[in-house]
Structure 1
Amino acid sequence: MDCKTARDTLPLYFDGELDRAASREFEAHLDACADCRGALIELDALRSTLRRDAPRHVAPQLLRKRIEKLAATETSAAPTTPARRASGSPSRWLAYAASTVLAFAAGGIAVSLWDSPGRNAEPAQASATAQLARDLFASHWRALAAASPVDVVSTDRHTVKPWFEGKIDIAPVVHDFAEQGFALVGGRIDYAGNARLPVLVYRHGQHLIDVFVLPDSTTLPGDNANLQSGYRLDAVKLGGQNAAIVSDMDQVELTRFAQLLNAIK
């Protein structure tokens, strides 16, 4: 895959619309292309900025009535299967309309990111540790947007650990904490800068937790840099390995999970 094809593929990958084979081809290109990795990270950052800073406007009542009328017309004209009734509901139509407007807005800005000659320039004062934190947040948000946050689904920890063998330099220590409320979902391989990292994915209630296993020499920034848009990054040890947690859990639960990881021998 060349960069021109990657530019067309990037939005589909970002939205989780590629099948597994196409995703792997795109990821293989990312392995060798720093420009495309940077564009993907910037797109993650753009979405975060839009979610945090974009102004919220209530749809005019007239617009809402028109959409509801259109939804009702579409529903009455279609076969009344349960699936069709659900897809034709007014609330779903309203959500679709809102997401379409946001998609056009984000798309316009994303094009400018691709075309900007300085898109990969980093501020001179940005440290390597701050960049690492940003990459880990971006990887977590990208996984949340994908069709699946894992490449290998866990039936138990013995299916996840062997999957990493031969695919990556770091062999992660894998434990399931389902009895403590933190079930192992699976694992994937993701990026932080130029490094490919193993990621263990856990679920706690409605929260997904990424555990990135890091090289021994890695350091993370101080606490002030580890909060972004309601998500937190914490440094932990995983069976003696350096690791980082990224999740939107509250601090109490995140600390409890970190204690479970730190206790692994």
Structure 2
Amino acid sequence: MSAYEDLIDEAASLILNSKKTVALTGAGISAESGIATFRGEGGIWEKYDPEEYAHIATFRRNPSRSWILFKEMIETIKKAAPNPSHFALAKLEEMELLSSIITQNVDNLHQDAGSKNVIEFHGNTINLSCMDCDRKYTASEVSIDEIPPLCECGGVLRPDAVLFGEAIPFEALVESRKESEECDLILVIGTTALVQPAASMPLIAKGAGAKIIEINPEETALTLTADIFIKGGSARALSDILKKVEYNLR
């Protein structure tokens, strides 16, 4: 048996013996769906300075400039579909082996794969809100051929994603912290674990006695703290873990 297979076996065993497992996901889990990570090579932050295009101050001052970025993000996400990583987590939830997913992503792919208990740490881009009257739209309802798109009242629309300079939604922060404190196992998938406060969730879990399984293509700031580190793409690793879990339940 290879070292990789040993890690898969160990991860599956931890999941099966856990009383409460939580997942924290980042942009890396959606990379295999064709959505480039923000900070990686070819990522959107190489093209657009986030402090310039994705800051709430810029949006208020010049929404058309911010919408250059938003339009590209929305069009990319519309073309994307869940990959085996998303489906594996949804299946684990269906099997009552995963309590919740705390995601930093704004692409809705976890929900598209069937996951029910998804905490959106940074909101999402599939819903839009009017800055004036707060009317809600889905991105599919609104044409973004001309930017910025406008509400029927004439107000500027914005994605329901957290922009730079804005606080994390209070409810998401409270629920994420609660899940992290209560779990005895946390899966950290496709995130560099650098962006706060999301990056603190695995440490909160660890401090409460939980074990950490990290799945990432490269080592991160969290790797030395993790109990298991599986180096590689999440689609293969999560699919293999799910197969092992299902095999052990026969």
Please report the TM-score for the alignment, with normalisation by the length of structure 1: 0.26
Q: Which has the larger radius of gyration?
A: 1
Choose between structure 1 and 2 for higher RCO, CA contacts under 8 A separated by at least 6 residues.
2
Q: In proportion to residue count, which structure has more helix?
A: 1
